[in-house]
Amino acid sequence: MEDLKELLKQHIDEDLLVKLTKDLVSIETHPLIPGQETAACVYIKEFFDKEGIPCYVKEVKDGRSNVVATLDSGKPGRTLIFNGHTDTVKADGMVDAFNPWIEDGKLYGRGTSDMKGPLASIMVAMKALKDTGALKEGKVIFTGVADEEQNSIGTIDIIEDGIKGDAVIVCEPTELKVNNGNRGLEWFRFHFIGKTVHGGEQAKGINAIKKAVDFINAMEEKLIPDVFARGGTVNYGVIHGGTQLSTVAGECELLVDRRYTADETYESMYKEFTDLLGELSAKDPKFKCEMEVLDVSVMKEGYVHEPAYTPLDSDIVKITKKYSVDAIGEDYDVVFIKAWTDAGLISTYQKTPVIICGPGLMECCHALHEYVPVDHLPKASLMYALTAIEFCGKE
C-alpha cells in the first residue's frame, strides 16, 4: 500500500488543485447568476473530457444543472459516490470574492471551502486513479450537484435518477475529519395574533408580543432543555411585532431554527411545537398562534431536511477515517456535523451509508474571509483516492 500511496502522490499535483479551485471560484455560482451552477458544470465536464473520464451535464430546473462523471474499473466491485455542490452563497461584502488569491498558505475566495476546493480535490483524485490504473475493482462516481444552499434540487434529482452507490462521501469542509452524520433541519414561522387598541386602553387589547414572550418562556422551560440533551438545537433568531409605541401590538412574528438528530423524527419534532402551542392555548383563551414552515425551507414535495446517520462500524467510516488520520497526523473521535448537508437526503431517501468529509473549514463558510488551506487539497485528493481503492475493492 505504501508503494501505491507514493505512486498516487506523484499524480496529485498541488498546482493543478490550486488552478482548478481558483477557476471554479472565478465562475460565479450564487443565486444572482442566471443558470447559477451550469457554467461551473460545463468547466468540470471539460476537465473530465480531457482526462478521458465519461461525464455529462444535465439540466435539473430553470437552466440549473448537475454534472456527473464515472470512472469504471470494468471489473466487479462496489461503487463509491463523491457528492459535492457547485452553488455558493452570495459574496455579501466579501472583497475580491471571485478573484481568488493565496496568502500565508490559505487560498481565499467565495466557495474555496464551501465547496469548490473539495470539488477540485475529487476531480484530481479521480484523475490520479485513472492515470495510475489503481482502481482495480468497482467504480467511482462524481456528482456535482446544484442548489445545496437552498432546496437541494440537485441531490434530489440524483436520487430520482437512480444514481446510487454502496456508500457516499459528501465532501463538505470538515478539516479532513470524518463525520458520520448531520442534524436534520427545519425553519418555522410562528405568527401570534392579538388585538390592536390604543396604548391607553391596554386592558381592551391583546398584546401579541406578550404572547410571543409566553411561547419563548414555555420553550425555555419545557422544550429546549430536552432538545439540547438529545443533541438538537432550537434557536429563535428573528422577531418582529407591533407598529408604534402608543399601540398595543396586534401581531408578532417569531422565526425559529430547529435542528434534530437521527434519534428523532420529523413528525415528532414538529409535534413538540404543536403540543406546546396547544398547552398555551388551553391555559389562555386569548393565546392564538399560527405555525408554518418558512417558504425558503420547503423542498420538493415528498422531501424534508432529514438528519443523516451512519454507524461507526460501517466500512465507509472505518476506511475513510484510516486515511483521514494519516492525512491529519493524529487520531480523533468521529462525530456528526452540526450543520445540515445533502447527506440527510442520501441517508433517508436512498438508505445509503453516507459520511461527510472534506478539505476546508466549516467555520469560515459563508464568511467574509472564506478560505481553504492549500495543503488540505492534496491531502484530501490522496485520502479520497485511497479510500476509493480499498472500499470499491471489497466485496
Does the pLDDT of residue 64 top 80, yes or no?
yes
CA distance 140 to 135: 9
pLDDT at 17 over 70: yes
Residues 384 and 330 in one domain: yes
Picking from 297, 324, 344, the residue at the C-terminal end of a domain is 297
- Comparing CA positions, the residue from 116, 113, 135, 115 lying closest to residue 125 is 135
Same domain, 311 and 387: yes
What is the pLDDT at residue 1?
A: 72
Q: For residue 43, what is the domain's CATH number?
A: 3.40.630.10
Q: Residue 203: give the domain boundaries.
A: 189-297
Residue 164 and residue 197 in one domain = no
The pLDDT-based confidence of 395 (bands split at 50, 70, 90) is: low
pTM value is 0.94
The answer to whether residues 152 and 210 belong to one domain is: no
Please state, in angstroms and rounded to a whole number, the distance separating the CA atoms of residues 150 and 253: 22
Residues 6 or more apart whose CB falls under 8 angstroms from that of 117 comprise: 17, 21, 107, 111, 173, 358, 359, 360, 372, 376, 377, 380
Q: Is residue 302 part of a domain?
A: no
Rounded distance between C-alpha atoms, residue 35 and residue 21, angstroms = 20
Burial (0-12, 13-18, 19+ Cβ within 10 Å), 26: middle
Query: How far is it, in rounded angstroms, from Cα 35 to Cα 25?
Result: 16
Average pLDDT, the chain: 97
The total number of structural domains that make up the chain: 2
**29 and 152 assigned to the same domain:** yes
